[in-house]
Amino acid sequence: MILTPHILVGATLASKIKFLPLALGLAFLSHYFFDFLPHLEYPIKNIQRKNWNKSFLDFLKVFLDISVGLFLVFILSKNLPLAMAGGFFAILPDGFILLGLILPNRLLKIHYSFHQKIHFPESKKVPLFWGIFSQVLAMFVAIYFLR
């Protein structure tokens, strides 16, 4: 999924679960579960191909995506530090993917394969409606419980 729903789901889990290690652990694991669901994502081909000098627009998309997620958490959350921590843990897996592109390392490679195995196949066609609907639904449910 794109990062905004991941952030909202993580923020909500962290806000609702009283035991912090469990809350952050589940926020982290929620990433894989929500990536497993059918969805569409905006392309970031230049980042994936490590075309760093052409990747400005890709990073801009990612930056805007994260900004929207954090902004929504900022205006909706009643416990900001906790919600932000949850949001952070929920996008950490994609952070590991980016880190693995910049600093290839064995652990990050293992994580990359794991993430790809769980992730809804990028090659699989999803109708536009359902590809967006799954993420809008995830966002609305998360926002409902976050408020």
The footprint of Zn ion (CB under 5 A) covers 35, 94
Q: Which is nearer to Zn ion, 58 or 94 (CB)?
A: 94
- Could you tell me the smallest distance in angstroms from the CB atom of residue 13 to Zn ion? 16
CB 147 → Zn ion: shortest distance, Å?
25
* Minimum separation from the CB atom of position 53 to Zn ion (A): 25
Nearer to Zn ion, 20 or 64 (CB): 64
> By C-beta, is 18 or 124 nearer to Zn ion?
124
- Look up residue 53 and give its two tokens: 């000098």
Q: Which two tokens stand for residue 72?
A: 């929504």
User: What CA–CA distance (Å, rounded) separates 78 from 61?
Assistant: 27
The minimum distance between CB 18 and Zn ion, in angstroms, equals 27
Of 109 and 147, CB closest to Zn ion:
109
